[in-house]
Amino acid sequence: MSARLCWRTEWQLGTALSRSLEKISVGLIGEGISASRTPAMHEAEGAAHGIDYNYRLIDMVEKSPVDLGALLAEIEAEGFAGVNVTHPFKQQVLCHVTERAPEVERVGACNTVLFEAGGRRAHNTDYLGFLHGFRTELGAVPHDLVLLLGAGGAGRAVGLALAEAGVADLRIHDSNEAAADRLAGDVRRLFPKIRAASIEPSMLAELTPDGIVNATPVGMAAHPGMPIDRCLLENRPWVADIVYFPLETELLEAARGLGCITMSGRGMAVMQAVKAFELFTGVAADPDRMAETFDSFDSRGHAR
């Protein structure tokens, strides 16, 4: 089986929807998502297509424990077309779907669920979103050896996208060592020519990667801070962060201060939203227009 994901075919399968475009309701389930720019991107794109498009934030912060199955059933009963799913539910949600798109089987996480007549179908648009952003912004910089922070739902998508982008040696650090080991094993299985391994905290100081990617929630508005000591950013050519609210995370600010090239979560956020919109509606989205909406917010996530 080829390690490369056939995105065009999979999107065509996923967007074969038979629902009215007169009014569509969708949402985002996560924790600490009040600053998300996703609703604005989706609703503006829906308006451009003449769709009465409602995107609701379903923030479960401080509502633990969350009965995700019951929540999905409630939302589906309200007539939603589907939901996006973010931290910390990207893997948990797989217990509550009927069918998984091929990219979900490979990544092992889901960020988009469609409510269809035959059941719930899981998709993952994070992979393509990060891959597009990385190739556009960092494709020309050295990336033979890369340190990936995080092996959860987003980390799995990012790790496989880095392998697809041509990283030769991927080191993965996560507080859950078993999750890091699993991701490393999956990268090796799907991309046999790539070296991938988990790395313990005690070894981080000895590693000299070309770049570092943060795929943990650390840095989000609800999880402030840095996922790695500032001293470990020294002499690293580039640093990327998938967090986009705020867009300017402490990690990126520190890295830029040390002279590193940086990549924010903008590219991933826009492209995953583009593909999610197409799945929800069956209508091709305009990436440039959705990017303009994203950029209408300041670096802290407030509309200008």
Q: Are residues 38 and 153 in the same domain?
A: no
Task: Please check whether residue 300 lies inside any domain of the structure.
Answer: no
Q: Are residues 40 and 88 in the same domain?
A: yes
Task: Please check whether residue 303 lies inside any domain of the structure.
Answer: no
Give pLDDT tens digits for 50-62: 999 999 999 998 8
Task: Please check whether residue 2 lies inside any domain of the structure.
Answer: no
Give pLDDT tens digits for 108-134: 999 999 999 999 999 999 998 999 999
Report the domain count for the chain. Answer: 2
Active site residue 193: no
Q: How confident is the model at residue 11 (pLDDT cuts 50, 70, 90)?
A: very low
**In CATH, what number is assigned to the domain containing residue 261?**
3.40.50.720
Q: Are residues 62 and 147 in the same domain?
A: no
Report how far Cα 144 is from the mean position of its chain's Cα atoms.
Answer: 22
Name the DSSP letter for residue 46: H
What totals of helices (H) and strands (E) does the chain contain, helices first?
Answer: 10, 12
Q: Are residues 163 and 254 in the same domain?
A: yes
Long-range contacts of residues 71-74, Cβ cutoff 8 Å, at least 24 apart: 71/29, 72/96, 72/113, 72/120
Give pLDDT tens digits for 169-223: 999 999 999 999 999 999 999 999 999 999 999 999 999 999 999 999 999 988 8
Angstrom distances, CA of residue 166 to CA of 18, 134, 181, 235, 259 = 38, 11, 20, 22, 24
Whole-structure pTM value = 0.84
Q: Are residues 79 and 106 in the same domain?
A: yes
Q: Are residues 178 and 261 in the same domain?
A: yes
Task: Find the domain containing 17 and state its range.
Answer: 7-125+268-295
Higher pLDDT, 275 or 5: 275
23, 63, 90, 275: the active-site residue = 90
Q: Classify the C-alpha dihedral 197-201-205-206 as positive or negative.
A: negative
Q: How confident is the model at residue 5 (pLDDT cuts 50, 70, 90)?
A: very low
Q: Are residues 272 and 220 in the same domain?
A: no
Q: Are residues 89 and 203 in the same domain?
A: no
Task: Please check whether residue 301 lies inside any domain of the structure.
Answer: no
